[in-house]
Amino acid sequence: MARILVIDDDELLVDLLRFTLEAHGHELRTAGDGEEGLEIAAREPPDLIVLDGMLPGLDGLEVLKRLRAAPETADIPVIMLSARKQERDVVGGLSLGAEDYLVKPFIPEELAVRITKTLARHAA
């Protein structure tokens, strides 16, 4: 069981992720914006973060930069989950240190598999 922090302002999507990921045995924490997500990640570092690219206030790329800059969160794997599908967005997220980038709409089970694989890589 992994502790996963989902930073996304779409409540329906968060509910879908909760249902899917808890069915895979994961424990979820959620944040509705980037500032709250950064606070939770620093206070209670999760095993993995699922990060929306488009958030109110700080956008996902800025949150990712700050996660990578802070010693307590620099090594937490991040999977970007965003409606932004332009090449510059995907490449930008991966270049800033995201482990993976999945474009919305997505298949929930695909995200679950990507999370499992990412966690396995980081456990090794």
Q: Do 42 and 66 touch, CB atoms closer than 8 A? A: no
Q: In angstroms, rounded to a whole number, what is the distance separating the alpha carbons of residues 118 and 77? A: 7
Q: State mean pLDDT over 74-93.
A: 92
The domain tally of the chain equals 1
Q: Pseudo-torsion of CA 5, 8, 12, 18, nearest 10°?
A: -10
Per-residue pLDDT at 107 exceeds 80: yes
Q: Do 77 and 4 touch, CB atoms closer than 8 A? A: no
CATH of the domain at 11: 3.40.50.2300
96: containing domain: 3-123
Does this model's pTM top 0.85?
yes
pLDDT for res 29? 98
pLDDT digits (tens, 9 = 90+) for 24-82: 999 999 999 999 999 999 999 999 999 999 999 999 999 999 999 999 999 999 999 99
Nearest to 7 by CA among 17, 19, 107, 101: 17
Nearest to 55 by CA among 79, 82, 21, 76: 82
